[in-house]
Structure 1
Amino acid sequence: MSDIVNWLNGYVWSPILVYLLLGIGFMYTILTRFVQVRYFKEMIKLIFEGGGSKAGVNSFQSLALSLGGRIGVGNVAGVATAISLGGPGAVFWMWLAAFFGSATSFVEITLTQVYKRKIDGEYRGGTPFYIENGLKLKWFAVISAVLTLLVMGFLWPGVQANTVALAMQNSFGISPTITGIFVVILLGAIIFGGVKRIARYSEIVVPFMASAYVIVCLIILALNFEKIPSVISLIVTSAFHLNATFGGIIGAAIAWGVQRGVYANGAGLGSETYESGCVEVSHPAKQGLVQAFSVYIDTFLICTSTAFMILITGMYDVKPKGMEPITNKLGEVAPSLYTQLALNSVFPKFGADFLAIALLFFCFTTLTSYYYKAETTLAYLRQNLSVKATWPNHILKVILLGTVMYGSVKTAATVWAMGDLGTGALAWVNLTVIVLLTKTAMKVFKDYEMQKRAGKNPVFDPVKLGIKGADFWENEYKEIEQNQPKEKKII
């Protein structure tokens, strides 16, 4: 099976996709006149705006839910793997992909809000919804939904479970089978409680676990402050063929930096659109800005902390695929354990144990996020097939839990290859769609800017903008407009 997956990855993850991810992000950066820079303060402000009801959640809950999906093993094991396969220079390309990807994320999340729906009393949105309502291609929307269901329910969960199982075995000697059973039991208790329980869990756990991880990373950086300039120099020189040791693998640095960076932050994949569809806001661009900010948190804070910790301590090897190892200090140690070794080198025993527990939380919140995305696409398919019964949801839960158990006991190489296949497949579909809907996204963004300049709290009216297919907003516009606070002149 692994041979087939690797063969497919060779086509899905061709250099074309890598440069498309960078190029489309650059295009949106220019079209929005650097929205990810100009609206930085607004992004932070909007996190704490947005209502919540039985039908939806507020912006902070959505951000926590999204970060629960973004902040996972991709930020720990994924960064380590990028360094192992692409050298230190991969970190630079991860940064660049995140900067441009923030603009891409703004576009895809804005489109999510434009074309969201209300299904079974809850707000739902995501890639299939804006394909059907924006492009009027229902068959393509169904394919996208099925693909997302496959990725979230089968291809990605194994990556999370496998990394945690390895970490727990390395730190505490716990069998991967035992870890898998433990995660399955706890995950089942959460996902059988519905989206509200998932959102509540994420808003409490995500900020805590992310903060604890960053604090430990900052302590390590502070203890090795004098090495930071040399690490930055190593990253930059390795990214541009200027480093004698790692400069010769610039192609691998770009490929793995972008690939692992996108897996970590989700920008351009459409994988982070589902949480944003359940948010109550007065204008789609508001949620677009909130989620654009989450890319910064994910990559520039969490991923960078991991990368610096690994590079400062020297706990890594560079072994590009198809080449002889450039360094082999650690022997046959799996890249997913580099971060654990880095922590342990500064905090003997405590470091490895802390990361194993942190990874358990990272994995757990990410898996709950995967379930929510899968459930949303299933809701879309059920609505289109007029299936009112809830038994498909129960089958989905069983499959996801089974995949977690499977991933816990399989080899790391197999589950990562399956995860990469899912990432690439989602990217091809979503990038194609958002490019075709660029005109709509820019129209919505310009409307938001015009209302802000007029001193208004922006409210979205698709009829006024000539946007068709935004049925939710056409029906809800008047109610939203009536509930807006009195306008205040912005000086």
Structure 2
Amino acid sequence: MEQLINAINGIIWSNALIILCLGTGIYFSVLTRFLQLRYVGQMVKLLFGGKSSQKGVSSFQAFSLAVAGRVGTGNIAGVATAIAMGGPGAIFWMWIVAFLGSASAFVEAVLAQIYKEVKDGQYRGGPAFYIDKGLGIKWYATLFAVVTAVSSAAFFPGVQSNTIASSMENAFNIPAIYTGVAVTILVALIIFGGVKRISKTAEIIVPFMAFAYILMAVVIILININEVPEVFGLIIRSAFDLEPAFAGIFGMAISWGVKRGIYSNEAGLGTAPHAAAAAEASYPAKQGLIQAFSVYIDTLFVCTATGLMILFTDQYNVVNPEGGFLVENMAGVPAGTGYTQNAVSIHFPSLGPGFIAISLFLFALTTIVAYYYIAETNLSFLVKESTMGWKLTVMRLLLLGAVFYGSIKTAEAAWALGDMGVGLVAWLNIIAIILLRKPALLALKDYQTQLKAGVDPVFDPERLGIKGSVEWTTVEKEKNVV
């Protein structure tokens, strides 16, 4: 089975997907005139400006839910794996895919807001919704919803729970089965509470976990401040095949940097739009800017922090594609959380493994919860509200089973399933947002025009010629909270 999954991944994650991801990011960056640079100040301002309503969560809650999905195992184990397979240069390509991908994240979030619906008294939306309403291709929307619901419930959670279990075993010698039971119970308590509890949990945990982890990284960076120029130089040289120690793996650096970058920040992947659609916003572009900023938080801050800690302390191996290792500083230690735990332990021997294990626990727990919300949203697209009851229960049990099973299976199997799900969803969503770019770009242009006129932008899809945006009627606009 594992060989079959790896063969499928070889097809899904061919160079075609790498080119498509980077190319789409470049395309939208140019079309939006690099809004990810021009509107950074406004991104931060908007982040704290919105309020929740009976139908939607606040801008900050939606941001936290999206960051909960983005910031997870990929930021700790994923960065370590990228370095192990692609060398230090993989970090540079993670930066590139984040910078370019933030434009893609803007577009998909705007589309999610434009085409959101009210189901079961709350906002629902995402790629399946905008494919259906915007493109009018029902079978394509259904395919996306099925693939994403299955991937989010069955494939994605195992990576997170597996990493939690392995880090807890490394740090506290807790058997994986006990960790699996505990995490499964915690996830159950949260997901059976509905979207409001999910967003509230993310709102509380996400800022705390990100701040604590980045603070630890900053302390280690300050301790090694004299080495910062050399480490950044190593990353840049390795990214362009200019570092002798990593010569010959240029393609691997790009491939693994993009692959793990996408897995980590999810820009253009099609998962974050589900959180974006749940927000109460006065203009779709506002939520788009907030979601674009969440990509920066994930990769430019958290992933970079992990990469620097590992490289400062030389706690990594780099695999030689032809066999053996190009660099082997940690004999017998598999790529993953062990790199980061050892890196922190160099400076804080009694704190390192436990701190990383707890950080991973919080990161991965909120990510699993975000995956559940994505699966639930796509299920709501596929079935009628009146029939959601037992089907929702089955999906919850499937996810909980995946969480427990993921904690006791091998890391290789967990990542293989996760990569397969990520790749399939990415293919489907990126093609959709390219085809559906016009409404998002019209909304951006109108938003910029109204800002220049000195007014708080008001979205009117009829005036812009955008069809299918049923929740942005005059009545709805009057209810929206700025």
Normalised to the residue count of structure 1, the TM-score between the two structures is 0.96
Output one character per residue of 1:48-74: Cα deviation in whole Å (capped at 9) or x when no partner: 122212211010011111111111010
In the alignment, what sits opposite 1:393?
392
CA contact (8 A) 1:116 1:126 kept: yes
SS of corresponding position for 1:390: helix
Q: Distance in 2 between matches of 1:364 and 1:478?
A: 35
1:325 Cα deviation from its structure 2 partner: 1.4
- Cross-structure match for 1:489: none
SS of the residue 1:248 aligns to: coil
Offset of 1:331 from its aligned partner? 1.7
2: CA distance, partners of 1:402 / 1:382: 22
Aligned-partner residue type, residue 461 of structure 1: D
Q: Residues 196 and 184 of structure 1: is their aligned pair in 2 closer, same or farther, counting only changes over 3 Å? A: same
Match of 2:325 in 1: 325
Offset at residue 321 of structure 1 (A): 4.5
Q: Indicate the residue corresponding to 1:123 in structure 2.
A: 123
1:329 Cα deviation from its structure 2 partner: 2.2
**Stretches (4+) displaced over 4 A:** none
Instruction: Name the amino acid aligned to 2:360.
Output: L
Matches within 5 A, 1:157-306: 157-306=157-306
How far the C-alpha of 1:477 sits from its partner, in A, is 4.6
Letter in 1 for 2:248: G
Superposed displacement of residue 389, structure 1: 4.2
2:364 corresponding residue in structure 1 = 363
Residue 459 of structure 1 aligns with which residue? 458
Instruction: Name 2:435's counterpart in structure 1.
Output: 436
User: SS in structure 1 opposite 2:52?
Assistant: coil
> How far did 1:322 drift?
5.1
Give 1:476 deviation, angstroms. 3.8
- Indicate if the aligned counterparts of 1:84 and 1:320 stay in contact, CA closer than 8 A: no
Match of 1:450 in 2: 449
Contact 2:187 2:369 in 1 (8 A): yes
Equivalent position amino acid for 2:106 in 1: F
Q: Which segment drifts farther, 328-337 or 258-267?
A: 328-337
Q: Alpha-carbon deviation of 1:346?
A: 1.2
Aligned to 1:151: 151
Equivalent residue number for residue 29 of structure 2? 29
Q: Which residue of 1 aligns with 2:314?
A: 314
Query: Do the aligned partners of 1:93 and 1:258 also contact (CA within 8 Å) in 2?
Result: yes
Q: Distance in 2 between matches of 1:150 and 1:44?
A: 34
- CA deviation after TM superposition for structure 1 residue 349, in Å: 2.6
Offset of residue 168 of structure 1: 0.5
Query: How many equivalent residue pairs?
Result: 481
Match of 1:109 in 2: 109
Residues 478 and 406 from structure 1, CA distance in 2 versus in 1: closer, same or farther, beyond 3 angstroms? closer
Per-residue CA deviation, residues 364-407 of structure 1 (Å, 9 max, x unaligned), is: 11111011111111111113xx6434111111111111001110
Q: What displacement does 1:221 show?
A: 0.8
Distance 2:148 2:394 in 1: 16
Structure 1 equivalent of residue 351 of structure 2: 350
Q: Which residue of 1 aligns with 2:77?
A: 77
Contact 1:252 1:320 in 2 (8 A): no
| Alpha-carbon distance in structure 2 between the residues aligned to 1:389 and 1:26 | 40
Residue of structure 2 in register with 1:426 after alignment = 425
In the alignment, structure 1 segments of 5+ residues that lack a partner are 485-491
Instruction: Please give the alpha-carbon distance, in whole angstroms, between the structure 1 residues aligned to 2:321 and 2:386.
Output: 46
CA distance in 1, matches of 2:75, 2:271: 16
**What's the % identity of the aligned pairs?**
49
Alignment check: 8 A CA contact 1:461 1:477 kept: no
Distance 1:196 1:41 in 2: 28
Partner Cα separation in structure 2 for residue 156 and residue 476 of structure 1: 39
**Structure 1 stretch 296-305 or stretch 320-329: which is displaced more?**
320-329
Instruction: Give the counterpart letter for 2:439 in structure 1.
Output: T
Q: Distance in 2 between matches of 1:187 and 1:440?
A: 37
**1:470 CA displacement:** 0.6
Letter in 2 for 1:236: I
Structure 2 counterpart SS, 1:118: strand
Q: Distance in 1 between matches of 2:426 and 2:8?
A: 14
Report which stretch shifted further, 208-217 or 332-341. Answer: 332-341
Q: 1:475 Cα deviation (Å)? A: 5.5
In angstroms, what is the RMSD of aligned CA positions?
Answer: 1.2
Partner of 2:413: 414
Q: Distance in 2 between matches of 1:58 and 1:228?
A: 38
Deviation (angstroms), 1:320: 4.5
The Cα shift of 1:323 comes to: 3.7
Displacement after TM superposition at 1:441 (Å)? 1.2
- Specify the code of the residue in structure 2 equivalent to 1:47: L
Deviation at 1:350? 0.9
Following the alignment from structure 1 to structure 2, what is the Cα–Cα distance between the partners of residues 49 and 375? 27
